[in-house]
Amino acid sequence: MNIELQFKLRSNPIYFKYLHENSYWYKILNRNPDKFNEFVEEVKTKYHLRPTDKIKKAIDTVDMLSNVLSAFK
C-alpha cells in the first residue's frame, strides 16, 4: 500500500476503524489503490454519513420533538 493512501486511512479514525472491522479491504487497497473511492463510499453507507442520511436523521429528530410536544398539549 502506498504511503499517501496510508496517510489518508490513518488520518480519518472512521476509515481506520472500518478497515479493522473489514480487513478484506487491506488486500483490495494493497492491490489496487484506485479503489479508495469505493472504500469511502462503503464506509459512508455503513456508518450513515451520506448527506441523505443526515437529512433523514434531522427529520426524524424534528418528528420526535413534535410528537413529544403534542403529547404535552
pLDDT score, position 9:
92
pLDDT value at position 1? 80
Residue 36: domain span: 3-72
Task: Give 10-residue mean pLDDT values along the chain (73 residues).
Answer: 91 94 94 95 92 87 91 84
Cα separation of the two ends of the chain: 60
Give residue for cell 504511503: 3
Output the pLDDT for position 73.
77
The number of domains in the chain is: 1
pLDDT for the residue numbered 49: 87
- Classify the C-alpha dihedral 57-61-63-67 as positive or negative: positive
What is the pLDDT at residue 39? 96
pLDDT of residue 18: 96
